[in-house]
Amino acid sequence: MKKIAIIFVSMLLAAPVFSQNNMVIDEIIASVGNYIITRSDLEYAKQAYKYSSGYYTMEIDDETVCSILEQLLFQKLLIHQAELDSIVITDQQVDDRLDYNIQMQVMRLGGDIKKLETYYGKSLAEIKADSRDQLKEDMLAEEVQRSLTSNIHVINQEVKDYYNNIPKDSIPIIPVEYEIAHIVKTPAISDEEKIHVKERLEEYRTRSLKGENFSTFARLYSEDPGSAAKGGEIGFTTRGTLYPEFEAAAYALRPGEISPVIETEAGYHIIKMLERRGESINVAHILIKPKPSVEALVAAKDYLDSIYQVLKTNNMPFDSAARKYSDAPDKINGGMIINPYTSSHAFQKEHLLEYDKSVAYTIENFSTGNFTRPIATVNDAGNQAYQIVCLMAKREAHTANLIDDYEKIKNASLEDKKQKTLLKWIKNKAKYTHIRINDEFKDCFFLDDWGLDQNNGK
């Protein structure tokens, strides 16, 4: 069964589809109730598909076009249901999601909002205006789909049945996976350095309050690579996305006010409130990170050198050493590193390379239990540190099985159950909803799945 999912084509998924030299004469190619799908909707969704797959110039075959059309029809069916259920998405919710989407895309483009405007050939205000209506439809569809699947669960027997029903030649191969742990030592920062950093920020705050340009100070002196080039502006965020101390100070400000110096895990900041919309805020900040002295860096490395010798000579279990000697928060879990892409301990090679190339290449040929000498690293807050990394487990490539890969199979089983639920819902809704599709798509595979007549839909 083909996967049923919404294609969210609102904003930041595809490059602009049409130019003056590449215009499409629009026409209605399908309808669901009072909602229509136009030729340009399909073309835009095709561009979104290319963008998300990373192959911008690829040719899309007929089967894929049918799959994209099916997803567009599914979205319209969900929106039609949202109207029947009187589901409301507020303008504030749309604005918050739009600001978040823009933040993510700006980060992908190197933190420069001008690149985003160049990419779309529009001003930021135009991008927002052109995206808002479609984004609202996306959010309505999301809400209905969530209501249809949020209470679906699978039990152990369902997981086993799902696995046993996979044709033997179709059971997936799980690539090599690594589990790693580390012992971290972060160099101490002297009180003198902290005082010096706070004095610098106090100076910038005082001068800004007297009329000098806050954004100029941010561009010149801030050490936040994502915002410095934009005058320290972070963009609209909501609660729960920033450091707690940062948020507490930011939400206490009124537009134009500048906070006192505050400390977070990343360093020291001053924050200027730019704009507030309900619980969504846009602030600018200047970040300065206290730097460890050369002596502190040497001391941190020497400390881990001594731990390295303990591990070698005392045969001490690595997880015990991590709990005793590491200063990273994950020490309580024996130093086990979480894969940020899957939230599990397992790293496939491409994720390990993205996480830390030097570690990936170092442990590739390790045996389980081998560990590195102290190596330089940067912690999650962007501060210098040293670490010893140990290969805790290595699972060779293998055919998926219920013992080693239960969680993966369980997730696949749950997704399959959700897909069957959605298809059942679609078939039922299609009976009572007026759906029409152009004849050019009469051979699309999904017409049977939806219970539609292959002659013009139904």
User: pTM (2 decimals)?
Assistant: 0.64
pLDDT digit string, tens, across residues 325-359? 999 989 999 999 998 888 889 999 988 888 888 88
Q: What's residue 56's pLDDT?
A: 57
Half-sphere exposure of 404 (CA within 13 A, CB side): 16
Between CA 111 and CA 278 the distance in angstroms is: 25
- Residue 445 pLDDT: 87
The string of pLDDT tens digits covering residues 261-297 is: 999 988 999 999 999 887 788 899 999 999 999 999 9
* CATH number, domain 191-288: 3.10.50.40
**CATH 3.10.50.40 is right for the domain spanning 177-188+293-399:** yes
Amino acid identity of residue 241, one-letter, is: T
Mean pLDDT of 177-190: 94
Nearest of 429, 387, 337, 336 to residue 85 by alpha carbon: 429
pLDDT reported for residue 107: 66
| Across 7-11, 336-340, 393-397, least confident range | 7-11
pLDDT at 190: 93
Domains of the chain, residue spans = 28-155+408-449, 177-188+293-399, 191-288
Instruction: Quote the tokens at residue 391.
Output: 């290969």
pLDDT value for 276: 87
On the question of a common fold for 177-188+293-399 and 191-288, the answer reads yes
Rounded to 5 degrees, φ, ψ at 47 are: -65, -40
* CA–CA distance, 457 with 438 (Å, rounded to integer): 8
Task: Return the structure tokens found at 91.
Answer: 């303008």
Residues 281-310 as b/e (b if ≥16 CB within 10 A, e otherwise) read: bbbbbbbbbbbbeeebbeebbebbeebbee
Q: For the domain 28-155+408-449, what is the CATH code? A: 1.10.4030.10
Q: Is the pLDDT of residue 36 over 60?
A: yes
pLDDT, mean of residues 183-202: 95
pLDDT value of position 227 = 86
